[in-house]
Chain A
Amino acid sequence: QKEVEQNSGPLSVPEGAIASLNCTYSDRGSQSFFWYRQYSGKSPELIMSIYSNGDKEDGRFTAQLNKASQYVSLLIRDSQPSDSATYLCAVNAGTASKLTFGTGTRLQVTL
């Protein structure tokens, strides 16, 4: 069974700090990796995608992928209270956009 594992948290970081969110996956055939942000009571919002090993930066967000270790992470620099949300890791093993989601990590950015 394909699995995506995340620490449920909450992960608490002070405003301005770096938040590090981690995700592991079981299917070595996985090709595409995504991070979604979900505010309470809202639907998931795509914030990052990554397809090859290494780092990908977009503004304050950096996604990191290591396929050998089956590990993907999301770094949020200069964390803001508005970043407080649940972050979902999603993985696609190459079957027509069918994503497997982790249970999410709840991030709390404190003042």
Chain B
Amino acid sequence: SAVISQKPSRDICQRGTSLTIQCQVDSQVTMMFWYRQQPGQSLTLIATANQGSEATYESGFVIDKFPISRPNLTFSTLTVSNMSPEDSSIYLCSVEAEGGAEKLFFGSGTQLSVL
């Protein structure tokens, strides 16, 4: 499986600021996704990060709030903009396994707390 590195691993931020989370994969992957896991909740897909084009967002998530970049097949960033305490969550980068079959592997996650 691919090795997925995420940073920062955790951060405490002030309301109204923005945080950019980086995801680096040790091999080229086609499909890369960003998930959110709010406290006590399951994982919710935010968007699919598309290489060289705009990300595809799920219902309830918008580009202005969660801008995503994917400049190549090994790297992506998620920005959480104009943060509020409701954005406190774990943010996870995930990639599809080589060969597909819809198997996803996850990065170590970024635990975000907004004061």
Contacts and interface: CB of A to CB of B under 8 A. Distances in A.
Interface in B23-65: 31, 33, 41-45, 48
Interface residues of B, number: 20
A104 B43 CA distance: 10
Contacts of B31: 96-97
Contact of A92 (B92, B102, B107): B102
B96 to A, nearest CB: 5
**What band does the interface of chain A fall in when counting residues whose beta carbon is under 8 Å from B?**
20 to 34
A25 interface: no
A49 B96 CA distance: 13
A99 interface: yes
A88 interface: yes
A43 B42 contact: no
A104 B40 CA distance: 9
A97 B96 contact: yes
Interface of B: 31, 33, 41-45, 48, 92, 96, 100-109
